[in-house]
Amino acid sequence: MDVLSDVISTVRTGQPHSARIEWHAPYATRFPEIPGAKFLVVLQGSTWLLTHGEQRLQLGPGDVLFLPRGREHSLSSSPETEGAVDCAGALRHQSDIATAAAGEAVPTLVCSRGYARPKDVPTTFGATTIGDSGDGEPTCVTVGGSYHASASRPHPLLAELPSVVHLPAKVGRRSELPLAVGLLGRELGTNRPGGDTLIPHLLDMLVVYILRTYLEEIRESGDNPGCGFAGALRDPGVHAAVQAVHRDPAHPWSVAELGERAGLSRAAFSRRFTALVGQSPLAYVTWWRLTTAARLLREEDAPISSVATRVGYSSQFAFANAFKREFGRSPGRYREASAESDAAQSSPGQEAPVAGTTPSRR
């Protein structure tokens, strides 16, 4: 895979969540910080993003938000609205969404001061209404979602992004972003066969388009030229070296060989790589090997010795020591903890606060 795809597939942990929400003014709902990333897209109408009194941003149709570190935020029908209700305490079921027939619109949730979630209803994907819907049209419709990720191991590309990335509609129109948003919004709005398989892939696609659009906008605007990991992806030599490491983490890479891939001397390559990526070439090789190992441990049942070999460790003992230094637990215990976390996230009644969503259907 290419580097940007690797960033998404490897750093993400657990089950993604997403929902389509119809908002009816007045409303003010607070979404807590999560260990991961959030996104929000306005399909129609407008809403206000409020972040700890630091930022008040009005969002309109086609606007996209990306919060790479899962920052706490509120969505409100007014910039002056106070007393936002926590998303986990603001929703109650109005109908049994688990019994929606295939192809039918997913029944909704309605915001109130009370909260009572039936224990047998999963909470991964769905459609939601917030506010007193009555017979009126919603004042805003959004699609939002979240990825849980390792807060202690953000990829440099995500770590250097601002806490709130805003892509106005005029930016998104130049990319495939609106098409991805439309597909996800329609899929979340109906209970159709295959949705459980399709929606996670649509989420991956949408986040890739968000990041791609942001990076292209930075490059074209001239902001932050040549700096950070985004700059590394624009530097032909460093990008070639990073790509080589991602494609074959098991290879016994040396700084000299990576420099050859970049078309630079050993010393020149090391200086440029460190300046852009923020760590030395071999430190990044180790980081990527162990990050890849963590993904393999989460997603596969392969023996730990096999995982060690696939990421460049000839000794299972050396791999276990390196892994424990990085993650604070042995590979075996990490795999067990990841399985327990996944089971907890996918069990009925588990809350999954995301960017402007509290999901309602799996």
DSSP string, 290-333: HHHHHHHHHH----HHHHHHHTT-S-HHHHHHHHHHHHSS-HHH
Question: 175, 174, 167, 81: which is closest to 130 by C-alpha?
Answer: 81
Tell me what pLDDT residue 335 has: 93
pLDDT digits (tens, 9 = 90+) for 38-61: 889 998 899 999 887 667 889 999
Based on the fold, state whether residues 242 and 209 are members of the same structural domain.
Answer: no
Length, in residues, of the chain: 362
Examine the domain organization and report whether 93 and 139 are in the same domain. yes
Which tokens belong to 328?
A: 């604070």
**334-357 average pLDDT score:** 62
In a domain, 246, yes or no: yes
Query: Do both 211 and 242 map to the same domain?
Result: no
Say if residue 194 is in the same domain as residue 248: no
Residue 356 within any structural domain of the chain = no
Say whether pLDDT at 81 is over 80.
no
CA dihedral 294, 297, 299, 300 (to 10 degrees): 150
Which of these, 154, 148, 149, 113, lies nearest to 132 by C-alpha position? 113
Please check whether residue 51 lies inside any domain of the structure: yes
Q: Which tokens hold the place of 175? A: 């990319």
Q: Are residues 117 and 144 in the same domain?
A: yes
Neighbours of 304 (CB within 10 A): 19
* Residue 227 domain flag: no
Asked whether residue 357 is domain-assigned, the answer is: no
Position 328 scores a pLDDT of 92
Residues 165 and 215 in one domain: yes
The residues near 123 (Cβ < 8 Å, ≥ 6 apart) are 17, 117, 348, 349, 350, 351, 352, 358, 359, 360, 362
Range of the domain at 206: 3-221
Q: Name residues whose C-beta falls within 8 Å of residue 235's C-beta, 6 or more positions apart in sequence.
A: 226, 272, 276
Mean pLDDT across the stretch 290-306? 93
pTM score: 0.74
Residues 55 and 166 in one domain: yes
Amino acid, res. 332:
G
In a domain, 305, yes or no: yes
On whether residue 262 sits in a domain, the answer given is yes
What's the pLDDT score for residue 114? 25
Q: Is the pLDDT of residue 274 over 90?
A: yes
On whether residue 354 sits in a domain, the answer given is no
Give the pLDDT score at 177: 81
CATH number, domain of 265, equals: 1.10.10.60
User: Which residue shows structure tokens 């795809």?
Assistant: 5
Q: H or E element: which one contains 272?
A: helix 266-277
Residues 262 and 131 occupy one common structural domain? no
pLDDT value at residue 98: 31
Whole-number Å distance between alpha carbons of 14 and 34: 13
Rounded mean pLDDT, 226-231 = 75
Identify the CATH number of the domain in which residue 77 sits.
2.60.120.280
Number of domains into which the chain is organized:
2
Q: Give residue for tokens 């070999």.
A: 309
Do 157 and 36 fall within a single domain?
yes
Residue where a domain stops, chosen among 187, 221, 255: 221
- Alpha carbon distances (Å) from 99 to 67, 133, 196, 237: 33, 22, 15, 55
Distance CA 56, CA 88 (A): 23
Asked whether residue 199 falls in the same domain as residue 81, the answer is yes
- Tens digits of residue pLDDT in 229-246: 888 888 999 999 999 999
Question: Higher confidence at residue 307 or residue 192?
Answer: 307
Residue 212 sits in the same domain as residue 245: no
Q: Are residues 316 and 208 in the same domain?
A: no
pLDDT at 13: 66
Burial of 112 (0-12, 13-18, 19+ CB in 10 A): middle
Residue 315 vs residue 154, higher pLDDT: 315
pLDDT score of 344: 63
